[in-house]
Amino acid sequence: MAQLFTTNVFADNELKTSDVFVTATRTPIAKKNVIADTTTINEEEIERAGSSSLTDLLQRQPGIEIYNSGGQGKVSSLHIRGSESDHVVVIIDGLRVNQVTSGLTAFENIPLSQIEKIEIVRGASSSLYGAGAIGGVIQIFTKKGVSGFKPYAAIGYGRYDTKTAQAGIRAGNDFTNYAINISSLSAEGFSAYKTNNPIFNDKDGYNNLSLSGSINHKFNQDNSIGLNFIKSNGNNKYDNKYETNFVNNKNKMDTQVIGFNFINKVTNNWQSDLKIGQSIYKYNDYDGATWTPNNSKQNQLSWLNNITLPLGSLLVGYDFNKEIINKSLGYDKSERNNSGYIVGYFLNRDNHNLQLNYRVDDNSAYGKFNTGNIGYGYHLNNQWNISSLYGTAFRAPNFMDLYYPGSFWEGTFYPASNPNLKPEESKNIEASLRYQKDVDKFSVTVFQNKIDNFIQLDSSYIPQNTEKARFEGVTFNASTFIDHFQLFGNVTFQSAKNEVTNERLLRRAQNYGNAGLNYYFSQWNLGAEITAQGEKKETAAVIPGYALINFVADYKISNSMKLNFRLNNVLNKDYALAYEGNPKTTGFTYQTPGASFFVNLRFEP
């Protein structure tokens, strides 16, 4: 599968400034000059999320929907502008972490406590990131070293016997900085299925222990070397309707990323950024008798070169990714290689912003594929900006699509894969109008994304290329301050349909959004949030819409100690994000949290 990403940053402090964005261009760029539809989630917002999962936090962002299979640690997926869950490239510290077998990402096993910042790019991005970036890209930055010596520690407790603890050190000087972070989470949880059936009505808990770290050394202002890693181990219990004689279904998850980065200024006009690394995902499932492993890894290399021209800059790069799965899975193939060749041109001059990208991917499984994009933005004045972007993208069939072994049932063999699948191809066009004056922001983005060779399961549950899909809609996003009050919100109206049958795609709402109010005074920050979503279609039923209200409060006890308190779903709303079949017959509703609280005490001198 195509691509890996490297944080092509000239200096570590540059990436951490609030006015710089990296993911939209693979080079640092001022946010005001970004053409694509983007969002940054900063460290303060992550800390205020409390014990929430990564997908819970992402759900509050414009254009993103999530579904979850029954609480903390359960399978969680998301849609960006209605696109499929495997249409999103997810990257941690420069390395792709989408699962090799399915193309999905184990969001449930990525702890918020290890994250410093998240960047989101919506829309087709394969011309920069290769296969999979039909719906967008999510880039996660773990906590890195800072100047000085800054230890921190935090403990938290909440409903469902949720306990958290974290500690770390972030330090450095003008030449070397480093960080080491450790965190734990345990939750007794609740039954993943909403049911009175004693076989399934147990507590499906989750616990996680994670460690991350980094060290970066600058030889001078132009040359540096860095190392970063993260390891997250999760243990999860879940419900399985096919295991009616065994209650304690469980799995173990292990997410690992390690990477080395070399940044060098070859000449005054030539910046080189080389990254070498590996991501590993291990999944072991227990069915009451045996543990079944599902392990995979990606060996990745990326070399980006940013060349300053008399007018604009040129990006020339090469990506390599070797995907490997364990042979014991019984797939027809257990590895494949991808090489990606990138060229891009960026221009920021006067009121004009221009971005051009072209990429060729050469994969050992499906051959060559070309993608490109063109974007233009114009600053009407210091506050208003208009922009438009057109791009092509693709998703390569994953190992499960192509090679998943079939199974025998009562003497009959049932195939489950299709080695003749073609890559999905998309054409995305969008236009935005944006306003920003100091802390006041407003944007509206209109989008349309058409996908040919759309891969869906047929009536025999075999993936086929026989369909087309169309995703279109509009997203509004705004934030403003009035004295001590901050008002913010976003809403998306969309259509996600199979163009052949004209039917709505599953688990997509036609409207969804978030809104909130913060009040700042003295040592307090008080807030209220509302998350709402319209009804969604499931395979055999319709999931009703819902609206949730949360309260949050921060109190600064001293310069080094802060108390955070959250009340989630304060009205104890009974709602669902996903079904297993039809709950009115033989199916189940995946259960969601009721009214709950979480309190967190943080110490950071």
**Which pLDDT score is estimated for 410?**
61
**Cα(170)–Cα(152) distance, integer angstroms:** 8
DSSP H helices in 2-84: 12-16, 43-48, 54-59
- For residue range 532-567, what is the model confidence (pLDDT) as tens digits? 999 999 988 999 999 999 999 999 999 999 999 999
- Identify the band that residue 408 occupies on the pLDDT scale cut at 50, 70 and 90: low
Residue type, 501: T
**Which pLDDT score is estimated for 455?**
93
In this prediction, residues 437-449 reach a mean pLDDT of: 96
- Identify the band that residue 14 occupies on the pLDDT scale cut at 50, 70 and 90: very low
In this prediction, residues 461-486 reach a mean pLDDT of: 94
Entry pTM? 0.94
Per-residue burial over 149-161, b if 16 or more Cβ lie within 10 Å, else e, is eeebebebebbbe
Is the model's pLDDT at 6 over the cut of 50?
no
Would you list the domain boundaries of the chain? 12-603
CA separation (Å) from 84 to 4, 133, 374, 497? 20, 10, 23, 12
**Which pLDDT score is estimated for 246?**
64
Is the model's pLDDT at 590 over the cut of 70?
yes
In this prediction, residues 101-113 reach a mean pLDDT of: 94
**Which pLDDT score is estimated for 489?**
98
Taking phi over 0 as left and psi of -120 to 50 as alpha, with beta for the rest, 103 belongs to left
- Identify the band that residue 461 occupies on the pLDDT scale cut at 50, 70 and 90: confident
- Identify the band that residue 244 occupies on the pLDDT scale cut at 50, 70 and 90: low
Per-residue burial over 214-226, b if 16 or more Cβ lie within 10 Å, else e, is bbbebeeeeebeb
In this prediction, residues 476-485 reach a mean pLDDT of: 96
Residue with the two structure tokens 């980094």: 214
Residue 55 · residue 72 · CB < 8 Å: no
Residue 66 · residue 72 · CB < 8 Å: no
**Cα(233)–Cα(113) distance, integer angstroms:** 14
Residue 248 forms beta bridges with which residues? none
β 204-220/223-238 pair status: antiparallel
- For residue range 122-178, what is the model confidence (pLDDT) as tens digits? 999 999 999 999 999 999 999 999 999 999 999 999 999 999 999 999 999 999 999
Token couple for 193 = 């299925």
> What 3-state class would DSSP assign to 128?
helix
**Cα(593)–Cα(568) distance, integer angstroms:** 9
CATH 2.60.40.10 applies to domain 12-603? no
Share the mean pLDDT of the chain: 92
Nearest residue to 316 via CA among 383, 246, 369, 266: 266
246-250, 373-377, 401-405, 573-577: the lowest-pLDDT one: 246-250
